A and B are shown apart, each in its own frame.
Chain A
Amino acid sequence: MTGAADLATAIESLRAAVARSAAGTLRHVTVELTEPHDVSDLEEILGAAHELPRATSPSSARRVQFDDTVPDEGEVGATVLAELDGGGRVSSLLIRRDEY
């Protein structure tokens, strides 16, 4: 498998595990990548990303959200957000359990 395929497999496994977790047991997990990736690499896996506004702390990391990973109404899923380093590359992933 290529590196990109490995990453895709790992992300999907994590998403499945997060989505499967019982309600109330897990809100999100953060995963540090072994090396930074371009946002476009992850867009190939997860669909288009859009940058979110920064949180209320100026030192907070810039984040993008992969909107295709947001579950539909009534579904349970795992939304993927990525934290960017100073160079605008993805350094870590935040996988959030989402249930309406």
Chain B
Amino acid sequence: MRALAGQRRPAAASRARVETSSGVPPWLEPLRPAGNKAITGLLASVQRDDKEAPSADLLTAKQIADAKLFYKLQPQLYPPDIVVQLRTALGLLPVGGVDDELVISVAKFQLAEAGGSLALKIDGKAGPRTLPRIFRSGLNVASEGEAFGKDVQTGVVDQWATFADAAARRDALVVLVNKKLVAAGVPPVTAAFDENPSNAGSFDFSTWQMKIGRKRLDGKTISVEDAKDTADTVWHEARHTEQWFRMAQLRAGQGLKAPALVKELGIPAAEAAKARAAPITGKSPLAVIAQGWWDSVYGAGGAHRGAVLDEIDAASKALDKARAKFGANKTAQNKAALVKAKARFDKAFAAYQNLPEENDAWATGPAAAVGVTSGSPEPEPEPEPAPAPAVIEEPAGAPPTPGESAHKTMPEKDLPE
């Protein structure tokens, strides 16, 4: 889900979204004018300072040992051939296994990602948040996102006024994103409006629908900021679609037939059949990545995920309530309650963005915004009403101007015949 920034949650809450999406803690807020990229770069070094004294490299000896244990305790996820692929992707020699060099290289990669849209924890563990960024595929390839953004620019934003209504714009966006999904081997979605006014968009896996907020699509024009955010939202939700299909392919590769996929994942039969026909088999980075998403949504992480979603929903409602109360009566007590509600929301939102599938989607969406470069053209001015009949000011019987037809100026022309 992507919340509609600045709508249901104006000011503080929408800022929280930006903060958490870039990994900037509230205490770095005064540095915001320096820009997200600068702040997140700073954040990386601050995070290291917060922990134990760092070694000459990024991690302490204890952190390196801890990371090595992380791989060794999960041999089903990190068998030797996956470790070889990981080493190769990071520019290391394939041989060496899980050694200090691998762990430090992962940490360096995580540090380099700090300049992106959503920082990674620097711990040397290539887990479910880091792996999709090392092994980019499908919609997670930045050039794909930017290309989609360009499609949105030319196919929807530049043509804004030619669409009949918000539904037509929504459908055009979904046609564009479906081309990308199909190219990535993912079944296309159907389009619907997300009727929750606080949502910019969501993906409903039970109906295989992409739901898009109506508000931004309803105006006669769209600003460049809103156009960028719309492209980002659609790409974010499309990445969720891809995640769900990869999970289905993974489970198909693990032996589940189509009806079992429907029962376990709750997806429609048509999409289950397509996953069954194209299973993810063997030990591949994509299989490990999809396993991370499955673990988070359907596996051992499912209860945690449910609690995180419950909490952000509750925290969002509590923040709205506190904001309304303070707006109506600006007492010190109501202000304190608002600050507390905001802190609760920020914490809940950070936990939500840290879910593997959300972390991945939040890191994927912004590439689409890059391809959007302007808002919609100014609408054509309304045609002026037809001019009123000319008022002839000359006195009746005035002589015609030399060289002009007498009938043009003769008052009789308007007289009944």
Beyond A53-B305, A63-B266, whether A58 also contacts B203 by CB under 8 A is: no
* Complex Cα gap A70–B258 (Å): 10
User: How far does the Cβ of A73 sit from chain B's closest Cβ, in whole Å?
Assistant: 6
Interchain CB contact under 8 A, A55 and B203: yes
Interchain CB contact under 8 A, B207 and A71: no
User: Does chain A have a CB within 8 A of B199?
Assistant: yes
Beyond A27-B268, A81-B266, A99-B269, whether A60 also contacts B204 by CB under 8 A is: yes
* Complex Cα gap A54–B273 (Å): 22
A interface residue count range (under 10 / 10 to 19 / 20 to 34 / 35 or more): 20 to 34
Out of A60, A67, A96, which one reaches B268, CB within 8 Å? A96
Interface of B is mostly: helix
Out of A52, A56, A96, A98, which one reaches B203, CB within 8 Å? A56
Chain B 174-213: CB-based contact to A (< 8 A → 1; otherwise 0): 0000000000000000100010101100111111100100
User: How far does the Cβ of B274 sit from chain A's closest Cβ, in whole Å?
Assistant: 9
Interchain CB contact under 8 A, B206 and A100: no
Residues of chain A with a CB closer than 8 A to B206's CB: 52, 55, 63, 65, 81, 94, 96
A to B CB contacts below 8 Å, 14 in the list: A28-B207, A50-B263, A53-B266, A53-B298, A58-B310, A60-B1, A60-B202, A67-B263, A71-B259, A96-B268, A98-B268, A99-B270, A100-B258, A100-B273
Beyond A73-B257, A73-B259, A100-B273, whether A56 also contacts B1 by CB under 8 A is: yes
Residues of chain B with a CB closer than 8 A to A98's CB: 262, 268-270
Residues of chain A with a CB closer than 8 A to B266's CB: 52-53, 63, 65, 81
Out of A28, A55, A70, which one reaches B263, CB within 8 Å? A70
Residues of chain B with a CB closer than 8 A to A96's CB: 206-207, 268
* Complex Cα gap A73–B240 (Å): 26
- Taking Cβ atoms with an 8 Å cutoff, the residues of A that contact B are 27-28, 50, 52-60, 63, 65, 67, 70-73, 79, 81, 94, 96, 98-100
Residues of chain A with a CB closer than 8 A to B240's CB: 56
Interchain CB contact under 8 A, A57 and B202: yes
Residues of chain B with a CB closer than 8 A to A65's CB: 206, 263, 266
Other A-B pairs, 16, CB within 8 Å; known A27-B207, A58-B310, A59-B198: A52-B266, A53-B302, A53-B305, A55-B205, A56-B237, A56-B358, A57-B196, A58-B316, A59-B199, A59-B313, A60-B204, A63-B206, A70-B259, A70-B269, A96-B268, A100-B259
